[in-house]
């Protein structure tokens, strides 16, 4: 808020500024609007103030670019999180199958043969060596599957089963 010009100017002797000089300097005049001195003060060209310049505005392009980049980053993070949890669940499934394979009870030979065949298949595709060992184990267990009454599983089949279980990487 501009201060009153009368309160800021005080006469200092004969050489000090006067109220009339200050009013003329600021373009204020008590005279009529047709005074030629007043018109000269108002029409003075200003050399230190430049006219408005056109500024290129690319903010919309920057906004779109940052938005697309942000969406890509968020999508990548969501994808990585999904893959992480998917692999984590697969590892848990492998662990569960492995524990179930380890906990097979050989007191019921027929049931044990079916469980070994079912649970062992999950691990058979790990490598070609595992596939061959699984096929050999299934061939040995086929003698215990398709009969009404079967004897207990012999030590040779149990040793092949233990070797197969030890080959599994969990």
Report yes or no on 151 lying in a domain: yes
Residues 86 and 161 in one domain: yes
- Do the Cβ atoms of 115 and 129 come closer than 8 Å? no
Region 33-37: what's the mean pLDDT?
56
Residue 14: per-residue pLDDT: 47
Task: Give one DSSP letter per residue of 80-147, joined into a string.
Answer: HHHHHHHHHHHHHHHHHHHHHHHT--TTSHHHHHHHHHHHHHHHHTT-HHHHHHHHHHHHHHGGGTSS
Residues 92 and 159 in one domain: yes
76-96 per-position pLDDT tens digit: 999 999 998 887 766 678 888
Residues 93 and 32 in one domain: no
Residues 96 and 39 in one domain: no
Please count the structural domains in the chain.
2
Residues 89 and 143 in one domain: yes
Whether the pLDDT of residue 126 is over 50: the answer is yes
- Do the Cβ atoms of 116 and 163 come closer than 8 Å? no
The DSSP code for 142 is G
Report yes or no on 5 lying in a domain: no
Collapsed DSSP state (helix, strand, coil) of residue 73: helix
Report yes or no on 149 lying in a domain: yes
- Please state the pTM of the whole predicted model: 0.49
Which residue did the predictor score with more confidence, 45 or 65?
Answer: 65
Region 59-87: what's the mean pLDDT?
94
Report yes or no on 91 lying in a domain: yes
Residues 84 and 163 in one domain: yes
Whether the pLDDT of residue 57 is over 80: the answer is yes
Cα distance between residue 157 and residue 113, in whole Å = 10
Report yes or no on 1 lying in a domain: no
The DSSP code for 46 is P
Residue 37: per-residue pLDDT: 56
Query: Structural domain of residue 100, as residue ranges?
Result: 79-167
Residue 148: per-residue pLDDT: 84
């Amino acid at each position: 808020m501009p201060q009153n010009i009368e309160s800021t100017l005080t006469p200092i002797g004969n050489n000090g500024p006067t109220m009339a000089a200050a009013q003329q300097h600021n373009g204020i005049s008590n005279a009529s609007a047709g005074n030629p001195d007043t018109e000269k003060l108002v029409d003075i060209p200003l050399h230190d103030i430049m006219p408005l310049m056109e500024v290129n505005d690319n903010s919309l392009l920057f906004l779109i670019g940052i938005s697309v980049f942000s969406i890509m980053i968020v999508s990548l993070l969501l994808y990585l999180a999904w893959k992480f949890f998917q692999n984590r669940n697969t590892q848990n499934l492998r662990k569960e199958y492995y524990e179930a394979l380890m906990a097979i009870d050989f007191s019921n030979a027929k049931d044990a043969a079916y469980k070994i065949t079912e649970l062992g298949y999950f691990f058979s595709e790990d490598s070609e060596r595992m596939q061959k060992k699984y096929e050999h184990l299934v061939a040995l267990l086929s003698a215990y599957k398709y009969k009404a009454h079967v004897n207990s599983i012999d030590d040779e089949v149990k040793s092949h089963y233990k070797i197969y279980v030890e080959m599994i990487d969990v």
